[in-house]
């Protein structure tokens, strides 16, 4: 393999205040690949996404490691260059469709802003493009939706709008931070299918952050399992489900309902395993 | 658009909003149409008709519906002209204080760090001064007059806006839509101006209404101590000060302007309070 990864995160260590959050994270997202990042809450998965996008909260400090986007250093990148990349080459699908859109601005304004900024479209061209994008994410009555405010739309519709926005400038990389977690299960499946379809058409690489192995099995090509700020295991999706290497991965699977084996009882991740993982992780801080 | 109309309808059906809006409207009409509404020239003296009581008391002259003062000037006309000063000060001072306080609050809240530290400490120190004394000292330094009163109120009360706006920006800054705006590649000023500020408008509307009430009181205080506009212009505070001397002979000279101030401030406070309740749940969903 000589293809360069779209996103390469290597030995990334990040502290929030004096608390270590990431303890040497390695992830390679290859072009056109959906790379799942799975972990329970507090594992640091969202922080990886925020670090990549440069929106880590105040007090976060990168101690060591590297992040490169198409061989370009994301950490040392000047602010102007980052702003130019964001939205155009790298985009975000946020977790919560309720707050991901500005509550007091109409949809058309929020969709056309990045189009005008990055693609240099004039107002009518951007509006036409926005309409076209809403068609692509299969929103009914897109002309009306464009004139509406976010709270007039359902959660599923808002998430479609956010997906349309993320794909609007044909980015190379999308960070999807639990994009279906806030939606109910039927809408979740439609949204996953939509993301997969757009991703395949555009050949976009996606870093797909989730806590749900069920979602991973539907959409991801590769998976990294994260716990206490460490990547425990990284594998192709079929290998991971058939031959999980790490104890934690196996425990996580026993804790996830599987529709192909409905009789199995779910088991929580054993406390002693969690304790062992935390102890191992903290040993790295010294 | 339907929801905005809905918000206005629900705002209009709130009793406090209705009362407050009626008071504000009455003030605006009185101030704008003072020469048409006032039955007399507010400065016209009639020494033979001094200390006439309001029309509902014995010995009243129907030419002077609310009675006259020590120099026989028509009280109703003086109250109507006094509304001009009160409303001018309320509108201009509240708007300018909002402008200054909001600008600094936005910057402090959004940029944080040392900028926030400097502005916040400045607000802390500022608020340690007793406001009425500070305004009297300020006007004494820059000289009496309408401009000075407005400047004094702005200089003292910008901190109210600054504190509240800063706190609200801290909340809004953490919302996902701001992160979305950053990841779209928008610049910081653009996010502050076009994304965050529109979310603060309902809050600002409420604050400005409340500040107008405060400004009316401060203007009355400064008139009362003789530091507002020149004494040949009728002001509510000036009338109170004048009426204080004759309170045993002619209670109406002091009580009626006090009633004007109380009703105006009550109305503006009710309006602000009502707007806060009706606008919040709609705009912050």
Find the mean pLDDT for residues B8-20.
78
* The pLDDT of residue B92 is above 90: yes
> pLDDT exceeding 90 applies to what percent of chain B?
45
Chain B residue with the nearest C-alpha to that of A99: B176
CB contact under 8 A, B186 and A149: no
B107-157: pLDDT as tens digits: 999 998 899 999 999 999 999 988 888 888 888 888 888 888 899 999 999
Sheet with A222-227, strands from edge to edge, namely A90-93, A173-177, A205-210, A34-38, A222-227, A230-236
Q: Is pLDDT larger for residue B65 or for residue A258?
A: B65
CATH 3.40.50.300 fits A7-283, yes or no: yes
Q: Average the pLDDT over B210-235 and give the result.
A: 86
d(CA B179, CA A53): 9
Give the domain B2-250+257-283 fold. Answer: MetI-like fold (1.10.3720)
User: In chain A, which stretches have pLDDT less than 70?
Assistant: 1, 286
CA-based angle A89:A92:A98, to the nearest 5? 150
A106 touches chain B (CB under 8 A): no
| 8 Å CB contact of B183 and A53 | yes
Q: How does A143-172 read in b/e, with b if 16+ C-beta sit within 10 Å?
A: eebbebbbebbeebbbbbbbbbbbbbbebb
Q: What is the ipTM of this complex?
A: 0.81
pLDDT reported for residue B6: 61
The pLDDT value recorded for residue A184 is 85
Is A143 within 8 Å of A106 (Cβ atoms)?
A: no
Q: What is the pLDDT of residue B159?
A: 95
Q: Is A284 helix (H, G, I), strand (E, B) or coil?
A: coil
Domain ranges of chain A: 7-283
Among B186, B207, B218, CA closest to B105: B207
Interface test with B, best of A96, A100, A102 (most B CBs within 10 A): A102
- Reported as a pLDDT band with limits 50, 70 and 90, residue B285 is very low
Read off φ and ψ for residue B238, nearest 5 degrees. Answer: -65, -40
Examine the pLDDT at B223 and tell me if it is beyond 50.
yes
How confident is the prediction for chain B on average, in pLDDT? 87
Task: Tell me if chain B has a CB within 8 Å of the CB of A119.
Answer: no
Ranking A90-104, B57-71, B177-191 by mean pLDDT, the lowest is B57-71
Nearest CB to A101; choose among B112, B177, B284:
B177
Q: Do A113 and B283 touch (CB under 8 A)?
A: no
Let me know: does A176 contact A207? Beta carbons within 8 Å: yes
In chain B, whose CA is at the least distance from the CA of A85?
B185
Q: Does A171 touch chain B (CB under 8 A)?
A: no
Between A87, A103, A104, which is nearest B183 by CB? A87
B chain contacts of residue A58, beta-carbon cutoff 8 Å? 112
């Amino acid at each position: 393999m000589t293809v360069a990864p779209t996103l390469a995160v290597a030995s990334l260590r990040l502290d929030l205040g004096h608390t270590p959050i990431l303890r040497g994270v390695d992830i390679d997202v290859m072009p056109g690949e959906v790379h799942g990042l799975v972990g329970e809450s507090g594992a640091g998965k969202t922080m990886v996404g925020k670090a990549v996008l440069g929106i880590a909260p105040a007090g976060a400090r990168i101690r060591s490691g590297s992040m490169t986007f198409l061989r370009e250093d994301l950490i040392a990148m000047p602010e102007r260059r980052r702003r130019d990349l964001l939205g155009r080459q790298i985009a975000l699908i946020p977790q919560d469709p309720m707050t991901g859109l500005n509550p007091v601005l109409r949809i058309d304004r929020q969709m056309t802003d990045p189009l005008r900024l990055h693609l240099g479209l004039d107002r009518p061209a951007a509006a036409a493009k926005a309409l076209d994008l809403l068609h692509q994410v299969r929103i009914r009555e897109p002309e009306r939706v464009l004139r509406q405010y976010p709270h007039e739309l359902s959660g599923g519709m808002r998430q479609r709008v956010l997906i349309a926005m993320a794909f609007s400038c044909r980015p190379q990389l999308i960070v999807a931070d639990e994009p279906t977690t806030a939606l109910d299960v039927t809408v979740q499946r439609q949204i996953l299918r939509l993301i997969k379809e757009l991703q395949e058409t555009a050949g976009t690489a996606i870093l797909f952050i989730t806590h749900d192995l069920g979602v991973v099995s539907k959409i991801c090509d590769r998976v990294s399992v994260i716990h206490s700020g460490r990547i425990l295991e990284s594998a192709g999706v079929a290998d991971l489900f058939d031959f999980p290497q790490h104890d934690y991965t196996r425990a996580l699977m026993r804790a996830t309902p599987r529709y192909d084996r409905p009789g199995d009882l779910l088991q929580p991740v054993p406390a002693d395993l969690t304790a062992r993982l935390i102890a191992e992780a903290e040993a790295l801080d010294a | 658009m339907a929801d905005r109309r809905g918000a206005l309808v629900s705002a209009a059906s709130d009793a406090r909003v209705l009362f407050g809006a009626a008071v504000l409207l009455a003030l605006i009409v009185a101030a704008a149409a003072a020469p048409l509404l006032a039955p007399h020239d507010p400065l016209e003296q009639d020494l033979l008709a001094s200390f006439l009581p309001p029309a509902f008391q014995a010995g009243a002259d129907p030419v002077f519906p609310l009675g006259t003062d020590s120099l026989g000037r028509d009280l109703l006309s003086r109250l109507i002209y006094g509304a001009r000063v009160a409303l001018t000060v309320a509108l201009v001072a509240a708007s300018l204080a909002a402008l200054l306080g909001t600008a600094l609050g936005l910057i402090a809240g959004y940029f944080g760090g040392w900028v926030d530290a400097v502005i916040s400490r400045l607000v802390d120190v500022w608020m340690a001064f007793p406001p009425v004394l500070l305004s009297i000292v300020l006007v004494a330094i820059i000289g009496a007059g309408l401009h000075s009163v407005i400047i004094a109120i702005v200089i003292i009360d910008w901190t109210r806006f600054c504190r509240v706006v800063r706190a609200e920006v801290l909340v809004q800054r953490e919302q996902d839509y701001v992160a979305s705006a950053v990841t779209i590649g928008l610049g910081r000023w653009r996010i502050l101006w076009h994304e965050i500020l529109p979310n603060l408008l309902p809050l600002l509307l409420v604050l400005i209404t409340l500040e107008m009430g405060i400004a009316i009181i401060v203007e009355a205080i400064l008139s009362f101590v003789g530091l507002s506009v020149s004494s040949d212009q009728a002001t509510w505070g000036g009338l109170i000060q004048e009426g204080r001397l004759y309170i045993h002979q002619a209670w109406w000279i002091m009580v009626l302007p006090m009633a004007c101030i109380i009703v105006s401030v009550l109305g503006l406070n009710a309006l602000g309070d009502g707007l806060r309740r009706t606008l919040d749940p709609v705009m912050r969903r």
